[in-house]
A = this chain, B = another copy of it.
């Protein structure tokens, strides 16, 4: 029995962790968004892959909510002293991932191979696969003009009004081989779309030609979990952005976004009464994941609804 999860960073990684813990070792493949990747200080930074790596390795910082636990910040202090760019905070331990990834990519390895190697080094049982080995860059059209994703997200703290999104390079990108293999696996029991931002984290993955088709072609049920609970996002700019894009900020809007792709849509209990329209089987569960138990409980629920009891 195999499971594929489609995930962005923080929110998605929570459910990915739940799945990782309840599934047998080796059963889970997480296809990660790389639209947030960027070059910073000449380093290749892959924020969503790293969040997944750290979360599944138990190295994530539970208090800060991003990056590594037991982190130090001496590099940033020294960089500030040297007048370097400090708007994107890189922890000292986190930096090792970026330096090692950049070195391996520079030596000719693919992002898939580098990610697999990092996962192996961190002792992960699950596979983490970038959506593509080619660069796809999420760009945000705002009232201040087009911004690179991290400039919008971190540097400008999601303050500009969003007018539209583009996934630069997506048309020319190919899905990572391991992503296609996981989706074509005859043992595939479920495709889980994690509660990540549908527009910023999941859409870049679906924009890689062939990935959406591969999900649709799979006979496994596709089950999506709403990142919107009671009209609020657990974290991040999802709801603010939905409003700016003229969308009703509700789980029903997310459901509509996944119609045609997902078979089952998981709403939070808060939204139990919400009409999500036809064409999607509805499921209701507590979806707020604070503890590891929350995560494994939701993972079990999702797998059960997909018809597979782990």
Q: Which of A73-81, A128-136, A168-176, A186-194 interfaces with chain B?
A: A73-81
Chain B residues positioned under 8 Å from A70 (CB to CB): 74
Secondary structure type dominating chain A contacts: helix
Q: Mark A32-67, 1 if CB is under 8 A from B, else 0.
A: 000000000111000000000000000000000000
Pair A78/B106 contact, Cβ less than 8 Å: no
A263 CB–B CB distance under 8 Å: no
Which chain B residue lies CB-closest to A86?
B96
Pair B122/A93 contact, Cβ less than 8 Å: no
Pair A78/B92 contact, Cβ less than 8 Å: yes
A103 CB–B CB distance under 8 Å: yes
A163 CB–B CB distance under 8 Å: no
Q: Mark A81-120, 1 if CB is under 8 A from B, else 0.
A: 1111000000111111101101100100000000001100
Pair A93/B121 contact, Cβ less than 8 Å: no
Chain B CB count within 10 A is highest, among A43, A78, A121, for A78
Kindly state the separation between the CA atoms of A102 and B103 in the bound complex, as whole angstroms: 13
Chain B residues positioned under 8 Å from A100 (CB to CB): 41, 79, 82, 84
Chain B residues positioned under 8 Å from A78 (CB to CB): 68, 92-97
Minimum CB–CB distance for A85 against chain B, Å: 9
Instruction: Give 26 pairs: A residue, B residue, CB < 8 Å, sorted on A.
Output: A42-B103, A42-B106, A43-B99, A71-B74, A72-B74, A72-B92, A74-B91, A74-B93, A75-B93, A75-B95, A75-B99, A76-B96, A77-B93, A78-B95, A81-B96, A81-B121, A81-B122, A82-B96, A82-B97, A82-B121, A82-B122, A83-B121, A84-B99, A84-B100, A84-B103, A95-B95
